[in-house]
Structure 1
Amino acid sequence: MAFSDQLLEEGTHIWDAQKNHPFVTELAAGTLDEAAFKHWVKQDYRYLLDYARLFSIAGAKARDEATMTHLLGVAHEVLDYEMDLHREFAADYGISQAELESTEKAPTCVAYTSFLVRTAHEGSLAEIAGALYPCMQGYLDVGEHMADLATEEHQYTPFIEMYTSDEFREATAWCRDFVDECGERYPGEHDAMREAFLTSAKLEYRFWEMAYTQEGWGL
């Protein structure tokens, strides 16, 4: 069994929790409160800046040119393509660019991005691979689940299409292969990769909860 499959098997309960979260099921049905979706857009925009940073630092730690080139390319794609789509979502829901950029991170967003940045700076390339994998694979799997649940087009259909697109599938496939490559090259780091993977996966679940409850600091 590929190491990425081992990780996914260990995280099955987290994946099931994500798919059954009300943010996911209500978005699929088109009934999600717009305020919750807007909260997700703003928080995920802030998250993506650090997610791109994770790929950039991973690229600097890569030991071969091909891996370095691809990791830095993914960082560029996140900053360019994916964040552009978030800007489009924001515009559709009346969120200005200034509001996106000035949004304060919610506690869960702080926890997740802090974990990613710390792993990027202090962890090995293999640990970084484990930490970055749940986001891509999780959104693809949740997106496919939403597509299966959706019975008609609605205002959130573009979200579902974004995370089930051929481009996103290809990016996720490369990420999965990268995890497997690191698993083969660094067998002594399997435990560290597993811990990073499961931590990120749990924080992915918490991110849905953060958006659904419109989590803030209460101050």
Structure 2
Amino acid sequence: MTTSLFDRLVAANASDWERYTTHAFVQSMADGTLPVAAFRHYLVQDYLFLIQFARAYALAVFKGRTLAEMRAAQKGLSAILDMEMDLHLVYCGEWGLEAADVEAAEEDMPTTAYTRFVIDAGLAGDILDLHVALAPCVIGYAVIGKRLATIPGALAPGNPYARWISEYSSAAYQELAVSAIRHLDELAGSEVGAGRFDRLARLFGQATRLEAAFWQMGLDKL
């Protein structure tokens, strides 16, 4: 069986991937011990993160080489702008965060660092570069959610973070991640030689480290 490009990228950045997907922030979500203040800060920054990711998907439309690639990117853009952002504000409200306050918040430095890195990757490179930079977020959340859901008590009604874990471990989100992995292979085709892979691996590694910094951001605000 052929190894996916995503699996190859993870293997090339194994230690960074492990630090990201098992970060103390997500580990403490599984046992319900994550301080509420850390999660609330994360929620606000995640909303601002989505704004910039919408721009990244808009860039993917522009970078698309075919109508199929453009339509796939437009679907992601529509999902963020037409559904995810509104749903995120509803979720923020459940944590006592007013929509007006969330929308007026300023980006924390790790939010700016990661989102602008992704956009720059797309501007400087091609559509594959852009999606490789997006992959630690899009696919990584599925990996994290699936793993956390196996931890005893993580999905228990008494865990305040059970809903978050349930969302990213759900069949729907897992299928989205599988589609993203498949899309990377489709974008890569047979064009990924050794030099090209090394560049993609460095891009993926930096995006992974920036994702870990995004988790750490919430803990640093305590």
Counterpart selection for 2:221 from 210, 214, 218? 214
When the two structures are superposed, what TM-score results if normalisation uses the length of structure 2? Answer: 0.90
Q: Unaligned regions of 5+ residues in structure 2, if any?
A: none
Change (3 A) 1:150 1:85: farther
Aligned 8 A contact 1:18 1:142 in 2: no
Q: Distance in 1 between matches of 2:164 and 2:152?
A: 12
Counterpart selection for 2:81 from 73, 79, 82? 79
1:150 Cα offset (Å): 4.1
Match of 1:33 in 2: 35
Structure 2 counterpart of 1:176, one-letter code: I
The percent of aligned pairs where both chains have the same amino acid is 30
Aligned 8 A contact 1:54 1:120 in 2: yes
1:185 Cα offset (Å): 4.3
Counterpart selection for 1:201 from 208, 212, 216? 208
User: How big is each residue's C-alpha offset from its partner over 1:55-83, in whole Å with a ceiling of 9 and x where there is no partner?
Assistant: 11111111111121111101111223322
Change (3 A) 1:213 1:111: same
Counterpart selection for 2:182 from 177, 194, 203? 177
Aligned 8 A contact 1:47 1:109 in 2: yes
Q: Distance in 2 between matches of 1:139 and 1:22?
A: 15
Aligned 8 A contact 2:27 2:148 in 1: yes
Change (3 A) 1:122 1:7: same
1:52 aligns with 2:54: yes
Change (3 A) 1:81 1:161: farther
Change (3 A) 1:185 1:125: farther
Aligned residues: 215
Match of 1:168 in 2: 173
User: How big is each residue's C-alpha offset from its partner over 1:115-169, in whole Å with a ceiling of 9 and x where there is no partner?
Assistant: 1121222221121121111101111111112111241232211101111122212
Structure 1 counterpart of 2:221, one-letter code: Q
Aligned 8 A contact 1:50 1:116 in 2: no
Match of 1:137 in 2: 139
Structure 2 counterpart of 1:208, one-letter code: W
Aligned 8 A contact 1:25 1:149 in 2: no
Match of 1:69 in 2: 71
Secondary structure of the corresponding residue to residue 187 of structure 1: coil
Change (3 A) 1:129 1:42: same
Secondary structure of the corresponding residue to residue 140 of structure 1: helix
User: How big is each residue's C-alpha offset from its partner over 1:13-35, in whole Å with a ceiling of 9 and x where there is no partner?
Assistant: 12321233221111111121110
1:50 Cα offset (Å): 0.9
Q: Distance in 1 between matches of 2:116 and 2:12?
A: 24
Counterpart selection for 2:122 from 120, 123, 140? 120
Q: Distance in 2 between matches of 1:84 and 1:211?
A: 22
Q: Distance in 1 between matches of 2:190 and 2:106?
A: 39
Cα root mean square deviation, aligned: 1.6
Q: Distance in 1 between matches of 2:190 and 2:64?
A: 12
